[in-house]
Structure 1
Amino acid sequence: MEINLVLALFAGIVLVLSAFSSALQRISLPGPVLALAFGVLIGPFALGLLRIEDFGVPTGTLLEQAARITLGVGLAGVALRLPHGYWRANARWIAVVIGVGMGLMLVVATGVLWGLLGVPFVLALLMGAIITPTDPVVTTPVVTGSMAEERVPERVRHNLSAESGINDGLGYLFVMLPVLLLTTPDQSWPELLTTVLLWEVLGAAVFGAVAGYLLGKLFVLVKDKGLMEESSYLGFLVPFGLFVLGAGKLAGTDAVLAVFVAAAVFGQVIPQREEEQEDKVDDVVNRFFLLPIFVLIGLALPLPEWVELGWDAPVALLAAVLVRRLVTLWVLYPMLRGVHDRPETGFLSWFGPIGVSALFYATLAERHTGHHEIFVYTTLAITASVVVHGLSTAPLSAWLARREPQRKQRTETAT
């Protein structure tokens, strides 16, 4: 592999998309869509400049670890966007959309895939679990940037960020059930309840909370003592996410969940003024890590295997991605009526994209089960979601912005 070619291609696309990010966002061509298309363009089915095999690492291993690192940094940025007091003030949203919503999305996605794809139920359950979490990295263009700040209310952006961060980590619990049913069916439930739930998931929450609190206190201490040269998240954000990701995995926990919990606690411990001064740093860092992973996905897309699936597979997968979110949010609407009105619920019910987290869980599941079709189906679902949700970001955010004055008027009239 020519390392300079990789550097030129990957850094070049990040440079171009960063330079024109605002203009591209406003015409509904966000970075993930173009980075994915660029990966296909330079890959073996177009220009042939680069192949995923050229990296000298097994494709599954490369994609799993790249996705895991991207999530580690991305989740830290997502959690740090949330203002002080967010969790207490929005406990109702979190409890309903996570406590009830994730289970309902899993049921709906599994039912659609089982009925339309014609795969065995356990495989449909595994695929449903992989696409259940809303991807926190892909939602970044929806909730950050000048267009999002102008058009999407802050409460919508914060609630979507918080939900995607939490359910991304908890997705591990959902994915491991069908994985265990496929690999160790006799011991699946005891293993799920003891090793997975009690140690890996709950242990990750405890580990993350402790790590976030201690690192937050350290940050405050070195700032107050004048030991830190520059007041910036940048020196903490990337190593923070990667440290918790690595240490959490060494401890045998669900490290993805640990990162989000740690960053959420860290964000509440440090002074509010730091968040206000550095609110753009995590956006820059996330873009730097977000775009290359989609170039990698574009390089790895199994296009010939997609062709063999026929036309019904992409229809079924896109239907599962869209319907699982639409059904869930509107079923839960009576419980969330005081949190979001109908236009906001409509916006949130549409934007449940999948991406990096689905790739991570798909490669993890393929490694455990040996079922390659998981990767084939998931990459097709990711591509469909990135394109459909990416192209609809600008028009739907504009639609929501037009309804915001009406909502404010109704609120003022009611008071």
Structure 2
Amino acid sequence: MDLNLPLALFAGVVLMLSVFSSVLQRASLPGPVIALGLGVLLGPFALDLVRIEEFGIPTGTLLEEAARLTLGIGLAGVALRLPHGYWRANRRWLIVILGVGMPLMLAVATGVLWAGLGLPILVALLLGAILTPTDPVVTTPVVTGSLATERVPDRVRFNLSSESGINDGLGYLFVMLPVLLLTTPGRAWQDFVLTVLVREVIGAAVFGLVVGYAAGKLFVAARSRGLMEESSYLGFIVPLGLVVLGAGKLLGTDAILAVFIAAAVFGQIIPQSDEKQEDTIDDVVNRFFLLPIFLLIGLALPIGEWAERGWIAPVVVIAAVLLRRFVAVWALRPLLRRLHSRGETMFLSWFGPIGVSALFYATLAERQTGLRDVFVYTTLAITVSVVVHGVSTAPASALIARHRADHRDGTAA
């Protein structure tokens, strides 16, 4: 296949979405929704201009590696959104939403998939684990840009960003347990504790802390000694994300988690006064690096296999995606009451989108287990989430802004 065609198409889509980004966001059509739709349009089920099978790389491998690279870059940008002192000031949110919320979301998603689709419990558990983490890439239009900053409170945007960043890496724990139980049941728990938990997850945390701290100190030292022409975050954060992603994988750690921790530590060390640059870089990175993955997803959607599974599949998948977040957040409302108002809780219980991280874990799980259902149902869930959460971004942002205004008026009265 001539790579100039997909190159021109992909770059053209990114260019178009960049030119009209503000208009599309206010029309509740964020970039991921448009990119996904264009991928379907260009693919074999519509115009048939591009087939992902003709790229010369196995589809599963291409999607897994593209998702991994996208997460590495995207998570670095997510971590830089968080202001200095955020982690210490928001310990309660993180402990509750990660320590209790993630297991609750896993339980709800698994139960809905098991009961609704009639899947074996371990397969339902695997799918539930893949759908549990909130995706940092799909979350980006919800928490960044003029629409979000005008309407959504900072604490909501920051808490959603931190959760989506950390639970993306922690999701590896939830995914690998059913994978091991399906593939090596005799030694699954031993491998889970010694390899997955200790070496891959804890090792990733330590590696990310060390690299992020060293990179932050290097950045500050270079600036203070006049070794840099300008304080270029872009020159640091993208290479930092890719270095940690590659080196973390070579060391046998959960490299996705390592990237987020490294970037989070780096963001707490660099000067607070340059945060406006972080926002600009985050916007550039999102448009240039993150949109192509949704084009790829659109090209790879197994629409024919969805049809074979009948009308019940999308109904159950929609229920799993939406209920797992809604039930968990409202169940935790007594613990979060002092952190978020009722309107903010409603917003947080709605926006738990899935996307690139689910694609990464689905391709990884399919490669290790050989279960095609994992990929088929996950891509259906991604499509549902990208569309539903994407088109509801503007209306939900308007509702939370109205709630804030009513709350202020009520307080003033």
Q: TM-score range by the shorter chain?
A: over 0.9
Query: What's the CA shift string for 1:169-211, capped at 9, x where partnerless?
Result: 0000000000001000011111111110011001100100111
Q: Which residue of 1 aligns with 2:399?
A: 399
CA apart distance, 1:386: 0.5
Query: What's the CA shift string for 1:37-90, capped at 9, x where partnerless?
Result: 100111111111100011100000000000000000000000001000000111
Structure 2, unpaired ranges of 5+: none
Q: Which residue of 1 aligns with 2:225?
A: 225
Relative to structure 1, the CA distance from residue 82 to residue 412 in structure 2 (aligned partners, 3 Å threshold; closer, same or farther) is farther
CA apart distance, 1:409: 4.4
CA distance in 2, matches of 1:294, 1:372: 20
Q: Which residue of 1 aligns with 2:114?
A: 114
CA distance in 1, matches of 2:14, 2:106: 34
Q: Which residue of 1 aligns with 2:129?
A: 129
Query: What's the CA shift string for 1:224-254, capped at 9, x where partnerless?
Result: 1111122221111211110100011111000
Letter in 2 for 1:36: L
* SS of residue in 2 equivalent to 1:398: helix
Q: Which residue of 2 aligns with 1:37?
A: 37
Q: TM-score, normalised on structure 2?
A: 0.99
Contact (CA 8 Å) 2:81, 2:278: kept in 1 or not? no
Relative to structure 1, the CA distance from residue 194 to residue 412 in structure 2 (aligned partners, 3 Å threshold; closer, same or farther) is farther
Q: Which residue of 2 aligns with 1:313?
A: 313
CA apart distance, 1:410: 5.2
CA apart distance, 1:289: 1.5
Contact (CA 8 Å) 1:232, 1:278: kept in 2 or not? no
Contact (CA 8 Å) 2:134, 2:167: kept in 1 or not? yes
Q: Which residue of 1 aligns with 2:333?
A: 333
* SS of residue in 1 equivalent to 2:136: coil
CA apart distance, 1:6: 1.3
Letter in 2 for 1:105: M
CA apart distance, 1:372: 1.2
CA distance in 2, matches of 1:278, 1:71: 17
CA distance in 2, matches of 1:409, 1:79: 34
* SS of residue in 2 equivalent to 1:57: coil
Query: What's the CA shift string for 1:111-146, capped at 9, x where partnerless?
Result: 000000111000000000000000001000000000
Q: TM-score, normalised on structure 1?
A: 0.98
Contact (CA 8 Å) 2:213, 2:262: kept in 1 or not? yes
| 2:375 is the alignment partner of 1:369 | no
Contact (CA 8 Å) 1:237, 1:282: kept in 2 or not? no
CA apart distance, 1:110: 0.2
* SS of residue in 2 equivalent to 1:279: helix
Query: What's the CA shift string for 1:319-339, capped at 9, x where partnerless?
Result: 000000000000000000010
CA distance in 2, matches of 1:102, 1:147: 28
CA distance in 2, matches of 1:289, 1:86: 26
Q: Which residue of 2 aligns with 1:300?
A: 300
CA distance in 2, matches of 1:323, 1:410: 31
Letter in 2 for 1:14: V
Identity %: 73
Contact (CA 8 Å) 2:306, 2:380: kept in 1 or not? yes
CA distance in 2, matches of 1:293, 1:300: 11
